[in-house]
Structures are given as structure tokens and as C-alpha cells.
Amino acid sequence: MRRPDATLVLKDGSAFTGYAAGYLPESGVTTGEFVFNTALSGYQEVITDPSYAGQVITFTYPHIGNYGVTAADDEAQRPWCRGVVVRELSALRSNWRSSEELEAFLVRHRIPVITGVDTRRLTRHLRQHGALPGAFGHGPVTDVSDAAFAATGTDGQDYVAEVSTRQAYVRGEGDLHVVAFDYGIKETMVKQLAQRMRVTVVPSWTSAEEVRALTPDGVFLSNGPGDPAALGAQVAVIGDLVGTVPIFGICLGHQLLATALGATTYKLPFGHHGSNHPVQDLATGRIEITAQNHNYAVAPASLPAAMVSHVNLNDGVIEGIAAAAQRCFSVQYHPEAGPGPHDARYLFERFDTLLRTGRMEKN
């Protein structure tokens, strides 16, 4: 069966051709901010990461879907990305763990795909011009173009309220208790915490008073989508908690903690999206290969109350901060890293140690 022709148009007028796959919306058009991910595997974890809300994911690896999907690898109950761009979408799966073809999974979750695209050309364009809003689809080319020119990016957008859990839930057990803010939390993050402690995951709009009522030993700030500058209410809550309880933040949680400590954030040209970014721990000199997924970063020299703990060796972006007096730290990258690499999972142990130290000081 021949796939319908499809067109991809970016807001700057650049156009690409391909074929419609996955879910076919009745309008024939899908819009979003186009970014690229350089991971060689883990496409299911990438697609189901809530941090991609509002975005269309371009995979630089040319062959996607060859090992199918399994519910065990979902990072959320559903994908939150707007769409997917691939060079070749595999029609066959070959893996003993898989339970479904990737395309069937995308159809079931109503995620449109454009395949057959020259993803090398598209990636080079996004590297040169930055992440761009745009549109793709099997509708008339004029409709796709009109939608592309009207599309907006993630600047100033709060997608956290859209992806956050509506009700609190508890995972894990142990003598330590942590409250985790769900700004778009990945399942692997919850699992890593729950292996070490009891975790109460709460909605993103939970107040500082409600957190304190749960009497946690510490607070965890999760990853999430959108512009951190649009989350003033969340920053205020974190600011109220800083200094009263140990805090560990990842990705968006890192940006929000830094903002609560007086820093500012800015948008990177095309973001960091992949599983092969070298990061240096400045305290030990150790270099970690890390998974990353973010479009925003903490501005250099804007940290009056914290020190830089980690840096990206590709471009010098701040990858971690620490404030010893306030008993808090955070990293921009993803130490939980499903499916990998796992170089940075020691940070969960560091959080455990910080919590136990704080408990000893109380006693």
C-alpha cells in the first residue's frame, strides 16, 4: 500500500517532501516546534518523554522502529510530542521484548509521522537556524504552508500544566520520604527514586504548605516541557522551600531551582537532544557521557547563591549547580537515562546521602 504524499514546511519557508505515516489527522496538518534527537536507540523512550510537549521530533538515526515497542519502556502513559519525522519507518519489528510495531503504537496514540524525509538536510538546517516552528502533513501544500507560517514555538509557553499528574500517588518504600514535583516526570526517574526511598509524586501546582504537610525528608524537581521563564508560580514555591529541606532537580527542575536561587535562563539555538553529550563534574574532573533533552539553559554568571558543578564539554553550557548552604543541587542532563547511558546515576545516591545527612542533623 502506497503512503500518501506529505510535505514539511518550516516557518522560514524551507520545505521538505516525504510520505504520511502514523496517525493521519482529519485536518491533514500537524504543527509544532521542530527539534532533532541524535540518539541511536531508545526511540520509544524519546517519543514518550513529556518534555517534548509542543514539539515535533526529528530522528537523525535513519532507521526507526526496527525493534518495535513494549509498555515496559514507556516514560509516560502517552506521548506528548506533536509528531515525528524519520528517514525510514520500519514496518517490521524484531525483538523478543516487543509487543507492537512502532507505527501501530503511534496510530493508537494519535501521533502523526512524516517518513521518507531527508533528515540529514533537515537537521543541518535546524543546526544552522535553530529550532523552528513549522507544520507537516498530507493536506494541500498551501494548507501546510499557511499552518507553518502561523505556528509558534515553545517560547513563553507553559506545557507543564498539560502534562502533570492530576492526583498525587506514592511509589517505593523505605525510611526516607521524598516529595517529587511532576512537571512532566519520566517513569525511569520515579523508578530510580523508588528503588531508594518512598516517593510521593505531586501535581506541579502543589503549594509549599501542602508539601510541608507531607513532612518529607527532601524534595525532587522533575524534568518537563516548555519555557522555564513561564513558570513563575512554580519558582515561587521552590523559593519558599529552598533552605528548609534538601532539594534535587533534573532538567526543567534544574532550571527552576536555579531561577529560585536568583539565576536567569535563555533558549539555546537548537537545544541538546541525544544520548552522547560529554559532561564534566568539576569537583572530581570525571567526564560522564549523558542523555539530554532541553531547549533552555541557565545563563552563565547569573548564579548569586550557587556554584557551577558540571559543564557541557561540547559548548560550555552549565550542566549542574550546587548550593551547599541551602542543601540543594541540580543537573541539566538526565542521570536516570532510560535507556542509557548510566554514567550519572550516582547522583541519586548523592541525593540519598544528602537526605540522610539532613536527617542526622535534625536528630
The partner residues of 105 in beta bridges, in order of sequence, read none
Catalytic annotation present for 81: no
Cβ neighbours, 10 Å, residue 269: 12
Rg (CA), the chain: 20
Catalytic residue among 177, 273, 310, 334: 334
Do the Cβ atoms of 354 and 288 come closer than 8 Å? no
Catalytic residue among 33, 45, 103, 251: 251
Q: What are φ and ψ of residue 142, in 5° steps?
A: -65, -35
Catalytic residue among 33, 288, 319, 336: 336
- Give the contacts of 285 (CB within 8 A, at least 6 positions apart): none
Give the integer Cα–Cα distance in Å for 98 and 107: 16
- How far is C-alpha 216 from the chain's CA centre? 25
Sheet holding 265-281, edge to edge: 169-171, 198-203, 177-182, 218-221, 247-250, 328-331, 318-323, 307-312, 265-281, 287-298
Catalytic annotation present for 336: yes
Helical spans, DSSP H, in the chain: 43-47, 102-108, 119-129, 141-150, 160-163, 187-194, 208-213, 232-241, 252-260, 346-362
Active site residues: 251, 334, 336
